[in-house]
Amino acid sequence: KQWYQRRVRGGIEVVYGVAMLQFSTSIYSAIPICIGLAASSPIMLVTTWFGSFVGISTVACLMPKWDMVNLRLGLYGINASITSSVLIGNFFLLSPSSIFFGAMAVMSA
């Protein structure tokens, strides 16, 4: 299949990217992470999911062949989720420019 014919399978890789914040390969580890992030900072919760989604989407568009082991372990989503949660809404004011530059940093992470 060509790169445009491949799809991220049900978005489960995005959940793995968030679950890897606890270095866990279980998707159920994302539940307490999301509860903790929602209690402390809802903006950080949204930016963490946004970063994992953008990171996995970038991998889906740019990789000619999928490395399914690293993709399933969330290794492409964890760096992107950490980068976006720090750059977009944690240390900077949430604004359109911070979202833009955070998304650019996530694509290069």
Burial class, 68, CB count within 10 angstroms (exposed 0-12 / middle 13-18 / buried 19+): exposed
Given a cut of 50, whether residue 5 has pLDDT beyond it is: no
Given a cut of 70, whether residue 1 has pLDDT beyond it is: no
CB of 14 closer than 8 Å to CB of 8:
yes
**What Cα–Cα distance (Å) separates residue 1 from each residue in 5, 7, 26, 56?**
6, 10, 29, 18
pLDDT in tens, 11-20: 777 888 888 8
pLDDT grade, residue 94 (50/70/90)?
Answer: confident
Count other C-beta atoms under 10 Å from residue 58's C-beta. Answer: 17
Rounded to an integer, the average pLDDT of 84-104 is 79
pLDDT in tens, 32-72: 988 988 898 888 888 888 888 888 888 877 775 656 667 66
What pLDDT score was predicted for residue 43?
86
Element (H, E) at 61: helix 42-62
